[in-house]
């Protein structure tokens, strides 16, 4: 009986191990992928597989973008590179926190951000000023209130 269990366990582990294909090394990338990822050529094979997989997914998104989307992505990358390391670290933490939210919370947050962006500039500025004047405790309470509030139905 134990041999049967052991055999089944080993087969499952082998199947699971085979299901996760490691990210390809540099030489296995197609010409277009290598062109897009050119700056990473010297480091590619030393990167963790998860990072290479994420980058390859990014290449696929890049391929599907139109010229305007690519222009916008380049501008965002330039802005990112100009940020001080502390600001980048803070933004990475926020992204990590955002990704840890349940899908429904992420969707609600995206909707709220879109609603904020659609506000007139003077209203957005007033809200930003109000936010900056708040204490950390007030901000935390406001975050909780905002995240738990359902969007109003449009009339």
Give the C-alpha separation, 131 to 112, whole Å. 16
pTM: 0.58
What percent of the chain clears pLDDT 70, i.e. is strictly above it?
81
148 band by pLDDT with thresholds 50, 70 and 90: confident
d(CA 27, CA 97): 35
pLDDT of 38: 92
Question: Residue 19 pLDDT more than 50?
Answer: no
For residue 59, what pLDDT is reported? 92
Q: 96 pLDDT band (50/70/90 cuts)? A: very high
For 116-142, write each residue's pLDDT tens digit: 999 999 999 999 999 999 999 999 998
The pLDDT of residue 151: 56
- How high is the mean pLDDT of the chain? 85
pLDDT tens figures, 72-94: 999 998 999 999 999 999 999 99
Q: What is the pLDDT of residue 16?
A: 53
Rounded CA-CA distance 54/37 in Å is 12
DSSP code per residue over 41-77: TTTGGGS-HHHHHHHHHHHHHHHH--HHHHHHHHHHH
DSSP 30: -
User: What are the two backbone dihedrals, phi and then psi, of residue 101, each rounded to the nearest 5 degrees?
Assistant: -70, 155
């Amino acid at each position: 009986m134990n041999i049967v269990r052991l055999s089944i366990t080993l087969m499952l582990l082998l199947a699971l191990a085979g299901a996760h294909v490691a990210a390809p090394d540099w030489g296995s990338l197609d010409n277009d992928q290598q062109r897009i990822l050119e700056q990473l050529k010297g480091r590619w094979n030393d990167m963790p597989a998860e990072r290479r997989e994420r980058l390859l997914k990014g290449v696929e998104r890049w391929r599907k973008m139109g010229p305007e989307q690519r222009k916008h992505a380049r501008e965002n990358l330039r802005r990112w590179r100009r940020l001080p390391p502390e600001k980048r670290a803070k933004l990475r933490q926020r992204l990590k926190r955002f990704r840890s939210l349940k899908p429904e919370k992420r969707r609600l947050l995206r909707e709220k951000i879109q609603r904020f962006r659609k506000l007139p500039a003077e209203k957005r500025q007033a809200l930003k000023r109000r936010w900056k004047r708040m204490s950390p405790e007030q901000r935390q309470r406001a975050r909780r209130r905002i995240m738990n509030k359902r969007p109003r139905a449009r009339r």
